[in-house]
Amino acid sequence: MDQSTPHRTDASPSEPTPTGAHATRGTGWAMPVITLLGVAASIVAAFVGSGALGGTPVAEAAGGALSADATPVAPAGSAFGIWSVIYLGLVAYALWQLTATARRSARQRALRPWALASVLLNAAWIWTVQLDQIAASVLVIAVLLGVLVRIMHLLGAPRTGGVVELVVTDGTFGLYLGWVSVATLANTFAWLAAEGVDPMTGVPLGLVGIVAAAGIGVATAVLSRGRVAPALATAWGLAWVAVGRTEGRFESGALVWTAAVASAVVLVVAVVNWLRVRRATPPRQDANLPGRS
């Protein structure tokens, strides 16, 4: 994730507070505590549902519909290690949002219900797969993607928590969005393939899917004005799609190279946009601009 353009995190007493930078009153304890408990419960539910404590791993549930060799756009198994980083970030966020700084922040007050919804939806997605409801899992992950897009919009408000907020909020939810973008596409392919739609298991449509995932990553980088965290997760997913196509049922040089190039393009576009926005931003006006991660 990037370090966004340095900016002032607290308004001077002699200057007007930027709209949305500080709440005029602090948030009470109820919603922060509910958010903490909800994040904790959702992560535990997701951890149990993933098969980490025994039972059926997600990749083997639903007849293996989401296995690393199920479709041409399925990432290799190691790609899912990114969840460890995302869950760690969510735990850090859930704790940080209890602080006085976060409880005074209008940005965080707007974010909490959506952050809570995102973790509940993630746990629901895992359990729909465990219950062999692949079609339902596509619906759930699509809603989750929409929630994360909304979160990125809310994070356009000025930060007041400095680097800590940049990392635990912008960084965490940026990675979350980037990964779920790739996962939504892979989940859709898996559902259609399980329903017997033969083109979904062919190399040509696999190439289209990879290009589509890259297009979403590029669009996110451009529209978010230089956020690098979503691009990192999208590029990570595409890179592991490339690795997955070096062997197994869908081994294909065309898929490997397309996914590898797509991964690089997403990262390059994000970095170029970050540099462009950084150069165009007057340092003393950063407090009025969206934080970027």
CA dihedral 217, 154, 121, 43 (to 10 degrees): 100
φ and ψ at 77, to 5 degrees? -55, -35
What's residue 282's pLDDT? Answer: 66
CA 133 to chain centre: 23
CA 33 to chain centre: 23
Residue 222's Cβ-count burial label (10 Å; 0-12, 13-18, 19+) is middle
What's residue 19's pLDDT? Answer: 40
CA 270 to chain centre: 15
The whole-model pTM stands at: 0.86
Residue pair 69/248 in contact by the 8 Å Cβ criterion: yes
Q: Comparing C-alpha atoms, which of 152, 151, 170 is closest to residue 162? A: 170
What's residue 26's pLDDT? Answer: 65
Three-state secondary-structure class, residue 24: coil
pLDDT in tens, 50-63: 877 777 888 888 88
- Which stretches in the chain have pLDDT values below 50? 1-24, 284-292
pLDDT in tens, 64-118: 889 999 999 999 999 999 999 999 999 999 999 999 999 999 999 999 999 999 9
- H or E element that contains 147: helix 134-154
